[in-house]
A and B are shown apart, each in its own frame.
Chain A
């Protein structure tokens, strides 16, 4: 279970790692054969549907389901009363701590509906039409309460209070009056007040962002079956089948071993599928009905009832010397948590100044509940929002100092040996190299035309390690299967097969990668947190190394030589005993005699990977503004990132390009728009405007490789960093193009037009 490796048997130079083979699940994915959440059907299944609160805030006085139950074809109806009370308990099951009691109440409401879309009842019927009719026959009496959406309005003393038992934590004295402020966090060092007073230049800004959704194209979907003996089967698309199992067990009061979760292929997650919405409902309905229940969300439900990320207010103040040294910083972050506690303001606080070596700073974060859907993780949760404010302020600082924006960042950049803003000393980081790569790019020195502007921004994310199990089996013909518990969201089957093949010394097409259900592989944490290539990859390599050691032992037995007289090279055992001269034994040769040499050739590794290395990104963005319409065109985009080691460069580029696209959407068009009643007005892809193919140019990804020695090939997590810089990169480019600092995202055309209209002269 060691996670520090002896790399002696890994051959160099690398033959497979670093190349771009076709992904092993490719044929299924381009032919429509791959099965996603809504693609499976179980015999005798019923259709499940959810009744959702039409009110942003209300006490549920009563729910009358009698007419719904009496409708022919309806086989089950559940409300909150059909679910056990779940104790308040923090659980690190998904990709952030969740309070299980809150999660259970978000799955189906109990005393209160806390947002428009909050599930209050569910039905299962023989057809979708009957299920819909059943929903319309459920009579819910609400005491409608005043609601609050905006984070600062929710913090005000006269705001409607969502939870009577919420008393703000993290302040000097604990309040006696309930509020919507869950917690205040503070961190800092030095003496910012004094440092600001002594600074030559000070910049300040107030920035605002709206809630945005992860925007995966596949709506949540599952099929669940609860048999008469309490054994449960769930087919579900998620970022982690073990996470689904854990949460269903907790919400329903079951043992985890009585639930088998089979992972469907997943059509995007980005953090939004590291929790459950439908699975516990489907199981509860199935229990009542005695049949499997299939539930698929509509796009409207996805927007209204699954976590977006926080809308926020960011206040930034920076003080610097005339030579560009940033001597003081003050950052305040106010984040929407949605209906239940737990916004990513903590991570945002830790990442806000992580790129820079600033001696004196204070960072204050506020976690605030609002009558909006409970926020869920979204790719580097919290970090893009904090970076938006800080990186715009740094841009303003560069302008005030007359310094090049990359040079200002280089002057203050963290480097190995420097203490991070969140405490520990950095090692093996590549921020300076990434800044240099951006500075040296063709893009950075390309000329600009009229109405065009260029923006630069940097970003940081921790990346995590965590628990993974991998099993590696050698077939009797020498072909190999590597089995993991991580859903393949972005090409990870390819990466796992590559690392296994590299370690075994065999061609990649001899290695098949499978993703197993919860009964068929040991526990793994979710595919998320930029952890899969790092942690699951580490386990893959260790399992392959165990197999190599086993193969060498079997070769020694076959040749009757000492164990240390065998070397493994290029997929075969080589005899080093000078008294014997046998032919090398290939993987296939040894596998053919596996029964005689000890039995099946298999290895399993379970580990908890530590020492995941953080990643840094530096982005350069050119925009052109149409002064008549306020429309912003992204002309050119370059994203440099320290990736440690790109195992499959095309999929690493893909992560970078995808994160950039989401960040561009966040900056320019995406936002939750609510009406006065607290209902989302744009709960569809027409009016919730994500980037389309004609909105973007080619995205140049520059992969900088500063290895993380903890990983056998030096890999760092890459998936989350790329969404952190784009908000400010785009905003800084707009600033360059129109000469006005815009601080309220998204920078949609009406706002640009208003800013142009307001410009003097």
Chain B
């Protein structure tokens, strides 16, 4: 499915802003991104949250992803 990257990721993708990837969990998404763009998977794992169909998932390898899910990578959220 379609994955929209955050600008933080562009260094790893040579400027590519969106990619097509097949994955049914966040863990597999990270692995697939790492395979395509070395360093990206590790970066996403440590620094990015994954919005799956509008819901934000953070540090969540097991979260399921559907074949047509909307996937956005955004910087991890903190708070105060």
Q: Which residues of A contact B (CB under 8 A)?
A: 90, 92, 94-97, 170, 185-187, 214, 270-272, 274, 344, 346-347, 350, 376-381, 422-427, 461-467, 528-531, 608, 610-612, 710, 720
CB of B80 within 8 A of CB of A379, answer yes
Alpha-carbon separation in the docked complex, A337 to B63 (Å): 34
CB of B56 within 8 A of CB of A612, answer yes
**Nearest Cβ in chain B — how far from A463, in angstroms?**
7
CB of A380 within 8 A of CB of B56, answer no
CB of B79 within 8 A of CB of A530, answer yes
Contacts of A465 in B (CB 8 A): 58
- Residue A425 contacts which of B6, B53, B59, B77 (CB distance < 8 angstroms)? B53
The count of chain B contact residues (Cβ–Cβ below 8 Å) is 25
CB of A720 within 8 A of CB of B51, answer no
Contacts of A350 in B (CB 8 A): 74-75
Knowing A90-B46, A90-B47, A425-B70, say if A531 contacts B79 (CB, 8 Å). Answer: yes
Q: Which residues of B contact A (CB under 8 A)?
A: 4, 6-8, 46-47, 51, 53-60, 63, 70, 72, 74-80
Q: Which residue on B lies nearest to A614, using beta carbons?
A: B56
CB of B76 within 8 A of CB of A97, answer yes
Alpha-carbon separation in the docked complex, A282 to B73 (Å): 40
Interface SS, A side: loop
**Nearest Cβ in chain A — how far from B17, in angstroms?**
10
CB of B60 within 8 A of CB of A610, answer yes
Alpha-carbon separation in the docked complex, A97 to B47 (Å): 8
CB of A610 within 8 A of CB of B79, answer no
Knowing A423-B4, A423-B51, say if A610 contacts B80 (CB, 8 Å). Answer: no
Contacts of A530 in B (CB 8 A): 79
List the 9 closest pairs (A to B, CB-CB), nearest first. A271-B80, A529-B79, A96-B78, A424-B51, A377-B80, A423-B72, A95-B78, A611-B55, A425-B54
**Nearest Cβ in chain A — how far from B33, in angstroms?**
16
**Nearest Cβ in chain A — how far from B46, in angstroms?**
7
Knowing A185-B7, A186-B7, say if A380 contacts B79 (CB, 8 Å). Answer: yes
Query: Beyond the given A97-B78, A185-B8, could you list 18 further A-B residue pairs with CB under 8 A, ordered by the A residue number?
Result: A94-B78, A95-B78, A95-B79, A185-B7, A214-B80, A347-B78, A350-B75, A380-B80, A423-B74, A424-B51, A424-B54, A425-B70, A462-B56, A462-B77, A464-B58, A466-B58, A466-B59, A528-B80
Alpha-carbon separation in the docked complex, A350 to B74 (Å): 9
- Residue B54 contacts which of A187, A346, A427 (CB distance < 8 angstroms)? A427
Contacts of A466 in B (CB 8 A): 58-59
Q: Which residue on B lies nearest to A273, using beta carbons?
A: B80
Alpha-carbon separation in the docked complex, A142 to B4 (Å): 50
CB of B54 within 8 A of CB of A610, answer no
Alpha-carbon separation in the docked complex, A467 to B60 (Å): 10
Alpha-carbon separation in the docked complex, A612 to B55 (Å): 7
Knowing A185-B7, A423-B4, say if A381 contacts B79 (CB, 8 Å). Answer: yes
Contacts of A94 in B (CB 8 A): 78
CB of A529 within 8 A of CB of B80, answer yes
Alpha-carbon separation in the docked complex, A187 to B70 (Å): 18
Of A347, A379, A380, A610, most buried by chain B (CB within 10 Å of CB) is A610
**Nearest Cβ in chain B — how far from A531, in angstroms?**
7
- Residue A720 contacts which of B56, B60, B80 (CB distance < 8 angstroms)? B80
Alpha-carbon separation in the docked complex, A740 to B63 (Å): 51
